[in-house]
Amino acid sequence: MMDVDPSLVQNGRLNNIVELRPPEECDRLDILTWHARSMNVDSQVLRSVARRTKGLLGCDLEQICREAATMSVSEALADIRNIDSVSTVSGEHFERALHLCRPSAAICKGMVKANVCQ
């Protein structure tokens, strides 16, 4: 359990402390699949992302999906002759999105400590 200031754990303040574990690989794949449900993306790409995102939370995975989709659309709009490619979000888009997205939480002894300073 993370250390919590005893003054915070008093009646009327933090009565319960809930510790969360980050999702396992199969759960991360489910989360990615759900967030990418309207994208044309290869399932192998999502499996690869799920393997590489240990410690990330659902909100992080959502951000990665959004960034990858935005990159795909931006590239297609930059070259209007290539507008058909907007329907495909590639592994390269996800790769770049992985580098852009910062984790929203830190892992402490296998538990999640939320980053509330964002």
Residues 58-72 pLDDT 10s? 999 999 999 999 998
Question: Please, what CATH class does the domain formed by 25-114 belong to?
Answer: mainly alpha
Domain boundaries, the chain: 25-114
Distances (CA, A) of 66 to 15, 21, 93, 117: 36, 23, 10, 22
- What DSSP element (H or E) covers 107? strand 105-108
| pLDDT tens by residue, 27-68 | 999 999 999 999 999 999 999 999 999 989 999 999 999 999
Using the predicted structure, report yes or no on whether residue 5 has a pLDDT greater than 60: yes
